[in-house]
């Protein structure tokens, strides 16, 4: 059974587990069930996420758009998955050489990482001009996704400057070392529980340490009440150049 893994980014810049769910398949109903469980067990005590960053899963998109599984959150698409999907499409046509594919991949990254609306227009046009006529209509698929994907839109969201699902991908590989297909669901769940308990013991110690001491650039006379309330990493993020 597929394992849905949800992670977050902490105020110390660490990846932490939110929830795990074995599902029959990664369809809209499974994602809807997953977020309903979070709503029942968690979201009545804490705020729902401002942004949920995901790959291009059709099931997740349907759960968000049609089943309204996250009415208080914005759905953001992973930039890496988007570029890889576009690259795979161009390769599948069989019309481009390896050098052309490499150039198209670079243009795709420029398109996805457009920092302004003018950049977006320019980069989209550059990508379209490089494609053969038969493939130009393919970009319409991505125009419909731009507001959930392109940086000139998503940089204003409360996404903690995350634009790709690399954190969960790395976490996913670690989890698969703990849970294998040879284990029963019960045994796999027991291993996950033990892993999470150990993780949060270290995580809370790290969180506590991060709230001690002064931060360069902050006047401790005016911001003394932040001591042990806000982490040093969070403060640095706020005073760092954007």
| 3-state secondary structure labels for all residues of the chain | CCEEEEEEECCCCCEEEEEEEECCCCCHHHHHHHHHHHHHHCCCCCCCCCEEEECCCHHHHHHHHCCCCCCCCEEEECHHHHHHHHHHHHHHHCCCCHHHHHHHHHHHHHHHCCCCHHHHHHHHHHHHHHCCHHHHHHHHHHHCCHHHCCHHHHCCCCCCCCCCCHHHHHHHHHHHHHCCCCCCHHHHHHHHHHHHHHHHHHHHHHHHHHCCCCCCCCCCCCCHHHCCCCCHHHHHHHHCCC
- Residue 234 binned pLDDT confidence (cut-offs 50, 70, 90): confident
How much is the average pLDDT of 109-122?
97
What does pLDDT average to over the chain?
A: 89
Pair (108, 124) in one structural domain = yes
Pair (170, 235) in one structural domain = no
- Decide if pLDDT at 240 tops 60: no
- Note the pLDDT of residue 180: 79
- Decide if pLDDT at 157 tops 70: yes
Pair (53, 86) in one structural domain = no
- Note the pLDDT of residue 173: 79
pLDDT digits (tens, 9 = 90+) for 41-66: 888 878 899 999 999 999 999 999 99
Q: Within a domain: residue 225?
A: yes
Q: Within a domain: residue 204?
A: no
Q: How many domains does the chain have?
A: 3
Pair (111, 141) in one structural domain = yes
Pair (28, 146) in one structural domain = no
The proportion of the chain whose per-residue pLDDT surpasses 90, expressed as a percent, equals 60
Pair (88, 112) in one structural domain = yes
Q: How many CA atoms lie within 13 A of 106 on its CB side?
A: 6
Pair (73, 84) in one structural domain = no
- The more confidently predicted of residues 147 and 39 is 147
Domain that holds residue 140: 79-151
Pair (101, 69) in one structural domain = no
Segment of 144-148, 194-198, 211-215, 235-239 carrying the highest mean pLDDT: 144-148
Q: Within a domain: residue 156?
A: no
68: alpha, beta or left? (left if phi > 0; alpha if psi -120 to 50): left
Pair (64, 170) in one structural domain = yes
Pair (35, 9) in one structural domain = yes
**Exposure b/e, 193-203, CB count within 10 A at least 16 = b:** eebeeeeeeeb
Pair (22, 120) in one structural domain = no
Pair (87, 145) in one structural domain = yes
């Amino acid at each position: 059974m597929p394992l849905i893994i949800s992670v977050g980014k902490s105020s110390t810049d660490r990846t932490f587990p939110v929830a795990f769910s074995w599902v029959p398949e990664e369809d809209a109903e499974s994602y809807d069930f997953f977020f309903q469980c979070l709503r029942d067990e968690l979201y009545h005590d804490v705020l729902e996420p401002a942004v949920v960053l995901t790959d291009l899963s059709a099931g997740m998109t349907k759960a968000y758009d049609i089943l309204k599984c996250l009415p208080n959150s914005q759905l953001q698409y992973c930039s890496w998955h988007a570029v890889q999907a576009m690259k795979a499409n161009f390769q599948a046509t069989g019309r481009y050489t390896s050098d052309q594919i490499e150039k198209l991949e670079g243009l795709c990254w420029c398109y996805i990482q457009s920092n302004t609306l003018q950049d977006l227009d320019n980069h989209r046009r550059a990508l379209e001009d490089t494609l053969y006529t038969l493939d130009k209509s393919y970009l319409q698929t991505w125009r419909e996704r731009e507001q959930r994907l392109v940086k000139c839109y998503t940089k204003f969201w409360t996404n903690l400057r995350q634009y790709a699902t690399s954190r969960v991908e790395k976490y996913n590989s670690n989890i698969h070392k703990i849970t294998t297909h040879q284990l029963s669901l019960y045994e796999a769940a027991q291993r996950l529980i033990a892993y999470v308990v150990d993780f949060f013991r270290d995580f809370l110690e790290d969180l506590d340490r991060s709230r001690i001491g002064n931060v360069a650039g902050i006047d401790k006379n005016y911001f003394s009440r932040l001591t042990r309330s806000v982490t040093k990493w969070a403060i640095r993020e706020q005073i760092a150049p954007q």
